[in-house]
Structure 1
Amino acid sequence: MFVRLSMRKMFVIPLSLSTVFCIYCLYDITWGSTAFISRLKSENKTKILIYSEILPYIVRRRLKAGFNSKQCSNCILVEGKVTYDTLVFDAIVFMFNRVDLSDPIFQRRRDDQLYVWYSPESTPNVRNYHNISMENYDDVFNLTMTYRRDSDVFNPYGTLPSIKSSLLEEHVSLSRDTLDKVVSDKKNGIIWVASNCGLTSGAKMRMKIVEDLKRSQVGWMLDVYGLCGDGKTFTQDRSGYNNMNELIKSYKFYLAFENSYHCRDYITEKFWENSLLNAVVPVVWGPTREDVMTVAPPHSFIHVEDFENISDLADYLLYLDRNDTAYREYFNWWLEPTEGIEEPVALCKLCSMYESKKRQPGSINNLKHLFYERENEECLMYGNNVYNISNVF
Structure 2
Amino acid sequence: FMWIWQKFLSTCLVLRYSNGESSGEQIPTILAWTPAFGSHVYHTWFQDRLRDEKCPKQCKFVPRVHERNHSIADYDAVVFHSRDVELRDLPKSRKSDQLYLLFSLEAPGNRAEETHKWFPPFYFNRTVGYSSLNDYVYDYDRLVDANLTKDAVKSKNHSILAIISGCRTASGRESLIKVLWAHLNITLRGSCYGKSVSGDELDNLIKTHRFVIAMENSACMEYVTEKAFRYKSLIVPIVLSRKLVKDIIPADSFIAVDDFDNVTEFKDRISTLERNEDEYMKYFAWMKREDDFGIRNKGVCKLCTDLHNRRSLIHSSLANAVFPDANLCERRIVDRLLEGETRVEWEQFVFKGEVLTLIFLLFLFIRRF
Residue in structure 2 matched with residue 22 of structure 1 by the alignment: none
- The match for 1:143 among 104, 126, 140 is 126
CA offsets 1:319-352 (integer angstroms, 9 cap, x no match): 1111112111111222234479x67745444223
Amino acid at match of 2:76: D
The structure-2 alpha-carbon separation of the partners of 1:181 and 1:389, relative to structure 1 and needing over 3 Å to count, comes to closer
Distance 1:359 1:322, change over 3 A: farther
Task: Give the whole-Å Cα distance in 2 for the aligned partners of 1:324 and 1:58.
Answer: 44
Task: Give the secondary structure class of the aligned counterpart of 2:318.
Answer: coil
**In the alignment, residue 148 of structure 1 is paired with which amino acid?**
S
Instruction: Output the amino acid matched with 2:167.
Output: C
Q: Specify the structure having the higher radius of gyration (Cα).
A: 2
1:77 maps to 2:93 = no
Change (3 A) 1:389 1:137: farther
SS state at 1:253 partner: strand
Query: Aligned partners of 1:253 and 1:233: how far apart in 2?
Result: 19
Correspondence for 2:225: 268
Q: Using the TM superposition, give the Cα deviation of residue 75 of structure 1 relative to its aligned residue in structure 2, in angstroms.
A: 2.3
**Aligned equivalent of 2:102, options 112, 117, 136:** 117
TM-score by length of 2: 0.75
Q: After TM superposition, which residue ranges in structure 1, 4 or more long, deviate above 6 angstroms?
A: 30-33
Task: Tell me if 1:256 matches 2:256.
Answer: no
Name whichever structure is richer in strand by fraction.
Answer: 1
Matched residues, number: 321
What residue is the counterpart of 2:245 in the other structure? 292
Instruction: Say which SS state the counterpart of residue 269 (structure 1) adopts.
Output: coil
Q: Which moved more, 1:148-157 or 1:131-140?
A: 131-140
When normalised by structure 1's length, the TM-score is 0.70
Matched, 1:88 2:74: yes
Measured at CA, do residues 8 and 243 of structure 1 come closer, stay the same or move farther in structure 2, by a change above 3 Å? farther
Aligned to 1:209: 176
Does the residue aligned with 1:208 lie in a helix, a strand or coil? helix
| Counterpart Cα distance in 2 of 1:183 and 1:388 | 31
Q: Specify the alignment match of 1:233 in structure 2.
A: 196
Once residues 71 and 377 of structure 1 are traced to their aligned partners in structure 2, the CA distance between those partners, rounded to angstroms, is: 30
1:358–1:256 distance in 2 versus 1, CA, 3 Å:
farther
Matches within 5 A, 1:299-378: 299-338=252-291, 345=298, 347-357=300-310, 360-361=313-314, 362-365=317-320, 367-368=321-322, 370-372=323-325, 375-376=326-327, 378=329
- 2:267 is paired with a residue whose SS is helix
Deviations 1:278-337 (A, max 9, x none): 11111102xx42232323223211101111222321221111111112111111222234
RMSD, matched Cα: 3.5
Alignment-derived partner of residue 204 in structure 2: 246
Instruction: Tell me how far apart the structure 2 counterparts of residues 211 and 265 of structure 1 sit (CA, whole Å).
Output: 25
Whole-Å separation in 2 of the counterparts to 1:346 and 1:339: 13
Alignment gaps of 5+ in structure 2: 339-369
The answer to whether the 8 A contact 2:101-2:126 is kept is: yes
> Which consecutive residues of structure 1, in runs of 5 or more, have no partner in the other structure?
1-5, 10-26, 168-173, 235-239
Report deviation, 1:155.
0.1
Query: Could you say if the C-alpha distance between residues 252 and 28 of structure 1 is closer, same or farther in structure 2, counting changes exceeding 3 Å?
Result: same
Residues 1:66 and 1:347: Cα distance change in structure 2 (over 3 Å)? same
Q: 1:143 deviation in Å?
A: 1.1
Give 3-state SS (helix, strand or coil) of 1:296's partner: coil
Contact 2:129–2:139 under 8 Å retained in 1: yes
Decide which of 227, 237, 248 is 1:282's aligned counterpart.
Answer: 237
In structure 2, the CA distance between the partners of 1:226 and 1:336, relative to structure 1 (3 Å rule), is same
- Per the alignment, in what secondary structure is the counterpart of residue 260 of structure 1? coil
Relative contact order: is structure 1 or structure 2 higher (C-alpha 8 Å, sep ≥ 6)? 1
Whether 1:390 and 2:306 are equivalent positions in the alignment is no
Q: Which residue of 1 aligns with 2:28?
A: 46
CA distance in 1, matches of 2:34, 2:254: 36
Structure whose residues are more often helix by fraction: 2
Conservation of the 8 A alpha-carbon contact between 2:222 and 2:248: no
Q: Is the 8 A contact 1:49 1:92 kept in 2?
A: yes
Is 1:98 aligned to residue 104 of structure 2? Answer: no
**Residue 241 (structure 1) shift:** 1.8
**Residues of 2 paired with 1:242 and 1:28: CA distance?**
29
Counterpart residue type for residue 223 of structure 1? T
Change (3 A) 1:269 1:305: same
* Cα distance in 2 for residues equivalent to 1:269 and 1:91: 27
Residues 152 and 332 (structure 1 numbering): CA distance in 2 closer, same or farther, change over 3 Å?
A: same
Alpha-carbon contact 1:65-1:345 (below 8 Å) kept: no
Change (3 A) 1:65 1:157: farther
8 A Cα contact 2:141 2:225, kept in partner: yes
* C-alpha distance 57-150 of structure 1, shift in aligned 2 (>3 A): same
Indicate if the aligned counterparts of 1:140 and 1:363 stay in contact, CA closer than 8 A. Answer: no
Distance 1:32 1:314, change over 3 A: closer
